[in-house]
Amino acid sequence: MPHRNVTLFDPVQVGNIALANRIVMAPLTRNRAPDATPTALMAEYYSQRASAGLLISEATAISHQGQGYADVPGLYAEEQVEAWKPVTQAVHKAGGKIVCQLWHVGRVSHTSLQPHGGQPVAPSAVIAKTKTVLLKNGIPEFVDVSEPRALQAYELPDIVHAYAAAARNAVQTAGFDGVEIHAANGYLLDQFLKAGSNQRRDDFGGSIENRSRFLLEVVRAVTDAVGDGKVGIRLSPVTTANDAFDPDPQPLFDYLVRELAAYHLAYVHIIEGATGGARVLSDRPFDYTGLRRAYRAAAGRGAWMVNNALDKPLAQEALKGGADLVAFGRAFISNPDLVERLRKGKTLAESDRTTWYGGNAKGYTDYPTLKG
C-alpha cells in the first residue's frame, strides 16, 4: 500500500540494513582508483556523504574481464579487497551505511582494458554504439568501445562464480553492509535481458524466460553467498544508455520482477526513463507503477527504490505513491551534505563537469558544506 505520510527523512529497514533516512546516494563512476584499487581519497569522499541513509558505491568490477573504464575499482584481487576496508570503515565511523555495486560491463569495454588485450565479451557479437573512458596523461578521453565476442555457454558459470566471489569479498572481508547487482544501463546482465543485444539461440536467448535466465542465476548465487536481506538489484527498463534497447520491455521486466520476488532482496532499484536524461521517453512508454505492483503481487518484500532526475518535490511524491527509497546521483557530487540541504530547503551547488571522471581532490572532495 502507498506510504501516505512518509518523508525523505524517516528511518526505514531495508532487508537487514537499518537506514537513518530514505535518501540514497546512487552509484557514481569517478575514475579515481588507479590499478583498480581504492584509495584514501575515496575513503574521504564517501565518508563526506555518509549522512545519506544509504551509499551505493561506484560500480566495481567483479573480474578483470568485467572492467570497462580506466581507473575504476575492482573487488577481485586481494589488494583491492583490502583497500576497500578503510572506505567502509570511514563510512561507518561517520554513521553511514554502504553497499558495493557489483559490475561486469560486458561489451562496453576496450581491448586495452581487457586481460591480455582480448576482446570484450557479450551475449552476442554485436558492437555497442557507445564510448568508454580511457585516461591519457591523466586526462579522460572518450573512445569507441571495441568489438565484442559472444560468450560460450560453458563460460557463463565462471562469471556467475565471479559475482558470488565478489559479493563475499565485499560483505565478509571488505566490510560492506551489502551489495547491489548492477543489471542496468546496457552492461552485461542488461545485455542478456534485452533483445537488442541478445541474439542467442541457446537457453540464454530468444524468449523472455531464456533472456532472464543468466541474471536470475547471478541473483541466486549472490544471495546464497551473502545471505538474505543484503542484496539489492538495479534495473533500467527503457534506458538508452550504452545502446540498450528492447522492443517490448514491459512484459520482460514484469516477468523479471515476479521472478525476483522469490528472493529475499534488500531492495529493487529502478531507473525511470533514460539514465541521466529524460524521465519519460515518448518512444518507450513504460508503466513503473505496474512494475512495482507486479513485484508486490508476487510477494516481493524488498524496498522499492526510484531513481533519475528527481528533486525534492518529485522524491516526496514518489514516496507518497508507494516508493520506499529515493536515489540521488549527480546532486551528491557537489553537495556532500545533500541530506541537510534537502531538509532545510537550501540551494544545491553545481558541479564542475570537467572533474567528473579522473583527476584528484579537485571536484571530488573539495566541495564545501553549508557549515563550510
What are 307-351's pLDDT values in tens digits?
998 999 999 999 999 999 999 999 999 999 999 999 999 999 999
| Mean pLDDT across 69-91 | 98
What does DSSP say about strands 231-235 and 303-307: parallel, antiparallel, or unpaired?
Answer: unpaired
| Mean pLDDT across 272-294 | 88
The pTM score is 0.97
> What distance separates the 2 farthest-apart alpha carbons in the chain?
58
Q: What three-state secondary structure class fits 143?
A: strand
pLDDT at 3 over 70: no
Give the pLDDT of residue 4.
60
Residue 372: which pLDDT band, with cuts at 50, 70 and 90?
low
Residues whose CB is less than 8 angstroms from the CB of residue 181 and which lie 6 or more positions away in sequence, other chains included: 101, 102, 163, 189, 215, 218, 219, 222, 231, 232, 233, 234
| Mean pLDDT across 284-294 | 95
**pLDDT per residue as tens digits for the range 107-145:** 999 999 999 999 999 999 999 999 999 988 888 899 999
Scanning the structure block, which residue is given the C-alpha cell 507486479? Answer: 294
Give the pLDDT of residue 16.
97
Q: What are the boundaries of each domain within the chain?
A: 12-355
**pLDDT per residue as tens digits for the range 18-58:** 999 999 999 999 999 999 999 999 999 999 999 999 999 99
pLDDT at 2 over 50: no
Residues 84 and 308: their CA atoms lie apart, in Å, by 27
Give the pLDDT of residue 309.
86
Q: Which helix (H) or strand (E) holds 36?
A: none
Q: Which of 254, 170, 179, 242 is nearest to 212 (CA)?
A: 254
Residues whose CB is less than 8 angstroms from the CB of residue 112 and which lie 6 or more positions away in sequence, other chains included: 134
Give the pLDDT of residue 45.
98
What percent of the chain stands above pLDDT 90?
93
Of these residues, 187, 288, 357, 364, which one is catalytic?
A: 187
Distance, CA of 305 to chain centre: 12
Are 73 and 36 contacting, i.e. CB atoms less than 8 angstroms apart?
yes
Task: State the chain's mean pLDDT as an integer.
Answer: 96
DSSP secondary structure string for all residues of 199-257: ---STTSSSHHHHHHHHHHHHHHHHHHH-TTSEEEEE-SS--GGG---S-HHHHHHHHH
Give the pLDDT of residue 314.
94
CATH of 12-355, one of 3.20.20.70, 3.30.70.270, 3.40.50.300, 2.60.40.2310: 3.20.20.70
Residues 359 and 353: their CA atoms lie apart, in Å, by 12
Residue 187 annotated to the active site: yes
Residues 260 and 216: their CA atoms lie apart, in Å, by 8
Residue 229: which pLDDT band, with cuts at 50, 70 and 90?
very high
Give the pLDDT of residue 1.
45
